[in-house]
Structure 1
Amino acid sequence: MTADTLAAPRTPKARKSGPNLEKWGWIYMRASGVLLIVLIFGHLFVNLMLDDGIHGIDFAFVAGKFATPFWQWWDVLMLWLALIHGANGMRTIVNDYVHGARTRTVLVWALWLAAGFLILLGTLVVFTFDPCLGIENSTTDWLIEMCAAQ
């Protein structure tokens, strides 16, 4: 092929050796999307449809959920999948629309750092949640009794 001709439309480009990260990113987006649908609708059903619905959501409801390992892992899995899914989607948009290589690199690094920080912070909140912290300012009787019993 000479410099004046174009490659055929479906001619594959030569690819570097090693793992195909774009393919794995594409697969992750599909798999995490399906899992997120199940996790999010389960979360919404439990929070909005059971018992008192939206009127039952208060500090006690959240404290009760975070006292159970099942709901801790449910929320952490939802957090991790959603943040990685969103960061990967934003990475795709940056790669499509940002033309400068240096700017693209800075933005992608910023995306992954922000996602990593939020994942770390959210995971710490879920697993270290203690409803008895700050009890001295509470006016909720059940909380005062529960924390006094510990």
Structure 2
Amino acid sequence: MALTQTPDLAAPRSAQPRKKGANLEKWGWIYMRASGVLLVVLIFGHLFVNLMLGEGIHGIDFAFVAGKFASPFWQWWDVLMLWLALIHGANGMRTIVNDYVTGATTRKVLVWALWIAAGFLILLGTLVVFTFDPCLGVENSTTDWLIEMCSAR
């Protein structure tokens, strides 16, 4: 009976000695679980209000969005959903990159690119939600209700 030897493999990153300081992997793992639960509540609340109340999908138009973004409650609801979803997605992609990209430099570049893209989208989305003005450019509009609403301001 011949015994086969396993090849000498380098220890995976997870088996290497732990560095001193904050355990970012543990906090990332906890964040994924907590944000996942919050996102389920936020997304189903968002879908219920948008699709089940009122006229359903046929009632979603510019006026519906303008009405929602006029309320600080819905602004914060959407911003919280945006932030949690983008950070959750970026952290998941970071985990995939760490698992499958073998080159240290490539891995570092990809992780930085992920966080820069997520940060840019968070900044842009937050600006859109909090600076949304339905009356911007209304003078070129052909919608009567919008002209009336904005002229009353």
TM-score (norm 2): 0.89
| Residue of structure 1 in register with 2:62 after alignment | 59
Match of 2:12 in 1: none
Amino acid at match of 1:108: V
Q: Does 1:84 align with 2:87?
A: yes
Count of residues in Structure 1 that have an aligned counterpart in Structure 2: 141
- Cα distance in 2 for residues equivalent to 1:17 and 1:91: 21
Give 1:105's match in structure 2, choosing from 93, 104, 108: 108
Match in the other structure for 2:146: 143
The residue correspondences of 1:1-150 to structure 2 (distance < 5 A) are 13-150=16-153
Looking at structure 1, the residues matched to 18 and 114 of structure 2 have their Cα atoms a distance apart, in angstroms, of 25
Gaps of 5+ in 1: 7-11
* Unaligned 5+ runs, structure 2: 1-7, 10-14
CA distance in 2 between counterparts of 1:52 and 1:106 reads: 47
Aligned-pair identity (%):
89
After TM superposition, the structure 1 stretch with the greater mean CA deviation from structure 2, 135-144 or 23-32, is 135-144
Query: CA–CA distance in 1 between the matches of 2:89 and 2:128?
Result: 20
Secondary structure of the residue aligned to 1:48 is helix
Q: Secondary structure at the match of 1:46?
A: helix
